[in-house]
Structure 1
Amino acid sequence: MKKIIRVTTMPGSINSLLKGQLGFMSQHYNILAVSSNEGGRLKSIGEEEGIPTYAVEMTRKITPIRDLAATYSLYKLFKKEKPFIVHTHTPKAGIAGMLAAKLAKVPHRLHTVAGLPLLESKGLKRKLLDIVEKCTYNCSTIVLPNSFGLKQIIIDLKFTNQSKLKVIGNGSSNGINVEHFNPETISESQKEKLRLKFGIQPNDFVFIFVGRIVGDKGINELIKAFNSLNKEYSTIKLLLLGHKESHLDPISKKSLKVLKENKNIIELGFQTDIRPYLSISNVLTFPSYREGFPNAVLQACAMQVPCIASNINGCNEIIKNEINGIIIPPKDTKSLKNAMAFCLNNPLKVKEMSLLSRNTITDLYSQDIVWKELLSLYKTLEE
Structure 2
Amino acid sequence: MSEYFDVKGVSSSGKELDEVKNDEGIEVIAIDMSRQITPIKDMKSLWSTYKLLKKEKPNIVHTHTPKAGIVGMLAAKLAGVPHRLHTVAGLPLMEATGTKRKVLDFVERLTYSSATMVYPNSKGLYEFILQNNYTDQDKLKVIGNGSSNGIDTTFFSPEQISDTQKELLKKELNIEDTDFVFVFVGRLVGDKGINELITAFSQISKEAEPPHRSKLLLVGPLEQELDPLHPDTLKEIENNQDIISVGFQKDVRPYFAIADVLTFPSYREGFPNVVMQAGAMELPSIVSNINGCNEIIIEDQNGVIVPVKNDGQLKEAMEKMISDKDYYQHLKKNARSMIQSRYEQSVVWNALLNEYKTLIEKK
TM-score range, shorter chain: over 0.9
Deviation by residue 1:110-129 (Cα, 9 ceiling, x = unmatched): 00000000000111011000
TM-score by length of 2: 0.97
Q: Name 2:3's counterpart in structure 1.
A: 27
C-alpha separation between the residues in 2 aligned to 1:382 and 1:125?
Answer: 37
Letter in 1 for 2:283: V
Using the alignment, how far apart are the partners of 2:16 and 2:183 within structure 1?
A: 28
Give 1:85-96 correspondences, 5 Å limit.
85-96=60-71
1:97 paired residue among 61, 72, 85: 72
5 Å-filtered alignment, 1:44-193, equals 44-193=19-168
Residue 198 of structure 1: aligned partner: 173
Shift of 1:352: 1.3
- How much identity, in percent, do the aligned residues show? 55
For residues 90-110 of structure 1, the C-alpha deviation after alignment (integer angstroms, 9 at most, x for no partner) is 010000000000011100100
CA–CA distance in structure 1, aligned partners of residues 151 and 18 of structure 2: 24
TM-score, structure 1 normalization: 0.92
- Equivalents in 2 of 1:176, 1:94: separation in Å? 23
Counterpart position of 2:191: 216
Whole-angstrom CA distance in 2 between matches of 1:191 and 1:60: 36
Aligned residues: 358
- Once residues 170 and 26 of structure 2 are traced to their aligned partners in structure 1, the CA distance between those partners, rounded to angstroms, is 39
Q: Which runs of 5+ in 2 are unaligned?
A: none
Gaps of 5+ in 1: 1-24
CA distance in 2 between counterparts of 1:275 and 1:34 reads 27
Corresponding residue for 1:331? 309
* In 1: Cα distance, 2:201 partner to 2:54 partner: 53
- The correspondence for 2:261, drawn from 283, 286, 290, is 283
Structure 1 residue identity aligned to 2:198:
I
* Greater displacement, 193-202 / 330-339: 193-202
Query: Which residue of structure 2 aligns with residue 260 of structure 1?
Result: 238
Residue identity in the other structure for 2:313: S
Root mean square deviation, CA, Å: 0.8
Deviations 1:34-91 (A, max 9, x none): 11103x5423421221000111111101110110111011111111111011000001
Aligned to 1:13: none
The Cα of 1:369 is off from its aligned counterpart by 0.6
Match of 2:326 in 1: 348
Alpha-carbon distance between aligned partners in 1 of 2:242 and 2:204, rounded to the nearest angstrom: 11
Partner deviation per Cα, 1:292-326 (whole Å, 9 max, x = no partner): 00111000000000000001100000101111000
* Paired residue type of 2:57: K
Aligned ranges 1:8-23 → 2 under 5 Å: none
- 1:12 corresponds to which residue? none
* 1:187 shift after superposition: 1.2
* Structure 1 residue corresponding to 2:281, chosen from 303, 313, 316: 303
CA distance in 2, matches of 1:358, 1:148: 22
- How far apart in 1 are the matches of 2:359 and 2:171? 54
> Secondary structure of 1:297's partner?
helix
**Counterparts of 1:141 and 1:275 in 2: how far apart (Å)?**
37
Task: Report runs of 4+ in structure 1 exceeding 6 Å deviation.
Answer: none
